[in-house]
Homo-oligomer: A and B are copies of this chain.
Amino acid sequence: MRAGLRGGRVSKLAVVLLSGGLDSTTVAAIAREQGYRILALTIDYNQRHRIELAHAARVAVAIGVEKHIVLPLDLRGFGGSALTADIDVPKGGVEPGIPVTYVPARNTIFLSVALGWAEAAGAKDLFIGVNALDYSGYPDCRPAFIAAFEAMANVATRDGGFTVHTPLSAMTKADIVREGALLGVDFGMTWSCYDPTPEGRPCGVCDSCRLRAKGFAEAGSVDPAL
C-alpha cells in the first residue's frame, strides 16, 4: 500500500515549486495524486509576468495545499534577462540555443530556497516542473542539472536524503496537457505568458505562449485560458 492520505497512513510532506503555470500546476496535481501533503512555494522575483503570482495563489487553493508561501526575492537588481530587465521578449518563435528570457541561475535559486523550507519542515521531497523536450533550452532544466543539485543538497544539509522530483522531465507539452487533464487540473486558472498585454492577456507569441499552444494543439484540446 502506498504511503498517502488514501493509504490510511500519515502522508509525507513535499515542497512544490509553483509558478502558477501549466507545468508547475500539473506537477502539484501529480504530487497530490502521489499522496503528498504539499508546501507550495512561489517566488516573487519581480518578474515581468508577476501576474502569474495571482494564478499561483488560485491554483494553491484549488490543489488544496497545506501551506502556500509567496516569497519576495527580487532578481531585478541583477538583471541579465528579458524577464528581469528592460530587454524585449522575443516573439519570432522558439529558436535553438539559450534565449534572453533565461534568468541566470533561477532554478538553482528556487530549488535552494525550496531546500531550505524542506529541511526546516522535515520534508525530504522537492518537486519542480522542469522539462527538457518542449522547453526553451534553459540549462537549469536539464536532467544533469537536477542530478547535480540533488547531490549538492545531500551534502549541504543536516541529514541529507533529499529527492528532487521532475515528473515532467521526459514529457512533451502535449503529454503534460493530457496528464493534467486526467488529474482534473483546471488549466483556465494557469498562466504561462512571459509578456502580458496591458490588458492582462497572454501575448500569444512569446516562446512560452507558443509552447503552450503547441501542447494543447497536439493534445487535441482547447486551452480554457484563452
A120 and B78 contact, CB distance less than 8 A: yes
- Among the stretches A51-59, A143-151, A165-173, A200-208, the one at the interface with B is A143-151
Instruction: Kindly state the interface size class of chain A when it binds its partner.
Output: 35 or more
A112 at the interface (CB under 8 A from B): yes
A50-87: CB near B (< 8 Å → 1, else 0) gives: 00000000000000000001011111011111000000
- Residues of chain B within 8 A of A112, CB atoms compared: 105, 108-109, 111-113
Q: How far is the CA of A157 from the CA of B108 in the complex (A)?
A: 9
A152 at the interface (CB under 8 A from B): yes
Identify the interface centre among A69, A120, A156: most chain B CB within 10 Å of its CB.
Answer: A156
- Residues of chain B within 8 A of A102, CB atoms compared: 158
Q: How far is the CA of A17 from the CA of B206 in the complex (A)?
A: 35
- Sort A-B residue pairs by CB-CB distance and give the 10 closest, nearest first: A80-B120, A104-B119, A105-B116, A148-B152, A112-B112, A78-B120, A152-B152, A105-B115, A104-B120, A109-B112
The chain A residues found within 8 Å of chain B, CB to CB, are 69, 71-75, 77-81, 98, 102-109, 111-113, 115-121, 139-140, 142, 144-145, 148-149, 151-153, 155-158
